[in-house]
Amino acid sequence: MKTIKSLAIAMMALLMAASCSDINPGNNYAVYQDAVNKTVKKEKKSDKVILLVAFGSTWQQAFDAFDETVAAYKSKFSGYDVFLSYSSAICINRAAAGENAADGAEVRNYYAPPFWLNAFAQKGVQYKEIVVQSLQVIPGEEYTRVINYIKDFANNANGDISDEYLSKVVLKLGVPLLQDEEKDVKDVAKALNDLYKNQASKDVVAFMGHGNPDSYDTYKANVRYTQLEEALQALSPNYFVGTVDMMENFKTHVYERMVAAGLNTGSKKVYLHPLMSIDGDHGHNDMAGDDLPEKFEGKSYTIADLLAEANDEGEVEDCSWKVFFGAKGSGFVCDNSTMIEKGLLELTSIRQIWINHTQDAINGEPLDYYHSKNPE
């Protein structure tokens, strides 16, 4: 009865309470920002800082890759503090909560870039130099968000940063992995070939990038995947680069190119490799998962059956790359043994190219975003 009584009282209180808490947006911001401020204050060792910006992931493999990346940056840039942020709120929430938080261990507060930048500008911290490094692969839509965070910060969008500080702070931006269509593309192709030339010498290696949907290919950054494939094929004709979102470059198109190259001999393996900073949902599911269109489950099917399911854009949805390339009649061998489950940040030589971009940014001219929300 005691339990019942207390439950009843609790429920009555719940019922009687106001229907919705009246939240003061400013106060929430202050509380949240304060947590970020404290983290930065506590960990500040230098007067220069590097902020790495990734989309985010909730995979343990991704957490580990990010940890290694931060360690590598700390070792390379000894005069800089290094922090890593996520731009995905869902990933931030899930990484920070749960048993990890309850146990006081492994709390992963990635925070969103604007909070980090504000924390860098707080009184008592005020880094003299802030380097923002994009961990994106192509200079596409996600990268524009990174630029906008810096613009908002430089223009004091929230009006809570000292203008005097903003006029003095040196802001720098490290570009994505494939920013430069010649040098970066060539460097990445070389690094990948050094790693996978053995596989490519007799079999096929296909990289799965993300890409932007057609309507959001604002900066025409998708072309980098095509350029990378060309650069790789200059080293070996057995390399291919496809995406999950770029028009005309889905797995079906990659397959067409493989067939056109006469590689579907029946004996060649197709090695699959994510072309993303980390190996997360896309790598484990879209690439190496077991997704197969429902109508074929438990039945035998061929690559022709799968291709007949292609949508208007030529993509076979709900079908992983592994299942697709490994389908009967594809002319290839593709199964769990040909999955290369590694994100690009896990490849030291590729990570080095990002690090080089950071070094270039440090060596280069500071950004001039102050009082210019939309610079050329």
Partner 1 sequence: MKFRLLAGLALLCLARTLSAQSFVNDTIQEVVITATGTNHLLKDAPVQTEVITSKMLRNYSGRSIEEILGGLAASFAFSEDDMGSHLQMNGLGNSYILILIDGKRIHGDVGGENDLSLIDPQNIEKIEIVKGASSALYGSDAIAGVINIITRKHRNEGLLLENSTRYGSYNDIRQHNAIGLNFGKLSSLTNFQLQHSDGWQNTATEYTTGTEPPIYDSANKTVNRHTNAQLAQQFTWKPKKDLELYAGGSIYGKRIYRPCGKYARFDVHTYDLQYRNASASMGGKLALEGNDYVSFDLDWNRHAYMYYFTATTLVEDYEKSKGTIYYPYYPYLPDQTELQSDQQRTMANLKGVFSLPGGNLLNTGGEFRYDWLNAPTRVEGQKVADWTGAIYAQDEWKREFGKGNLIYLAGGVRFNLNRQFGFSFTPKFSAMLGLGKPWRIRATWSEGFKTPTPKELHYRYVKQMGGTWLYLGNLSLRPQTSDYFSLSGEYTLRSLMVTVTGYYNSVKDMITLVTIPNYQAPAEYIIQYDPIKTRQYQNVEDARTKGVDFNIRYSFKEFATSLGYSWLDTDANQYDSGHDRMHQVIIDGTAHHKGTFSLTWNHRFSPVYALGTGLHGRMSSMRYYQDNGNGKGYQIWRLTTSHDFGSFKKTTLRAEAGIDNIFNYVDRAPHGLHLGTTTPGRTFYVSMSVRFSQGKKFGKIKSNITDSNKQSNEDN
**Could you give the string, one character per residue 192-211, with x where binding to partner 1 holds by CB under 8 A and - elsewhere?**
------------------x-
Residue 90 makes contact with partner 1 by CB under 8 A: yes
Residue 306 makes contact with partner 1 by CB under 8 A: no
Residue 311 makes contact with partner 1 by CB under 8 A: yes
Helices within 77-135 (DSSP H only): 89-96, 99-102, 113-121
Spatial distance between the Cα atoms of 240 and 229, rounded to a whole number of angstroms: 5
What are the Cα distances from residue 235, in Å, to 32, 79, 253, 272, 376? 50, 38, 21, 18, 36
CB 150 → partner 1: shortest distance, Å? Answer: 13
CB atoms within 10 A of CB 365: 8
Residue 47 DSSP symbol = S
Residue 29 makes contact with partner 1 by CB under 8 A: yes
Q: Which stretch binds partner 1 (CB under 8 A): 229-237, 257-265, 278-286, 350-358?
A: 278-286
Q: Torsion over CA of 98, 101, 106 and 107, rounded to 10 degrees?
A: 100
CB 184 → partner 1: shortest distance, Å? Answer: 22
CB atoms within 10 A of CB 91: 20
Which of 2, 21, 124, 363: binder of partner 1 (CB under 8 A)? 21
Q: Which of residues 96-155 bind partner 1 (CB under 8 A)?
A: 96-102, 112, 114-115, 141-142, 149, 152
Residue 342 makes contact with partner 1 by CB under 8 A: no
Residue 298 makes contact with partner 1 by CB under 8 A: no
Residue 35 makes contact with partner 1 by CB under 8 A: yes
Residue 8 makes contact with partner 1 by CB under 8 A: yes
Q: Which is nearer to partner 1, 61 or 236 (CB)?
A: 61
Residue 336 makes contact with partner 1 by CB under 8 A: yes
CB atoms within 10 A of CB 284: 16
Query: What backbone phi and psi angles, to 5 degrees, belong to 281?
Result: -55, -50
Spatial distance between the Cα atoms of 131 and 116, rounded to a whole number of angstroms: 12
Q: Which is nearer to partner 1, 10 or 261 (CB)?
A: 10
CB 205 → partner 1: shortest distance, Å? Answer: 17
Range list of β-strands (E), 244-357: 270-274
CB of 125 closer than 8 Å to CB of 40: yes
CB 231 → partner 1: shortest distance, Å? Answer: 26
Which of 10, 71, 234, 304: binder of partner 1 (CB under 8 A)? 10
Q: Which is nearer to partner 1, 90 or 304 (CB)?
A: 90
Which of 320, 330, 338, 358: binder of partner 1 (CB under 8 A)? 320
Residue 269 DSSP symbol = B
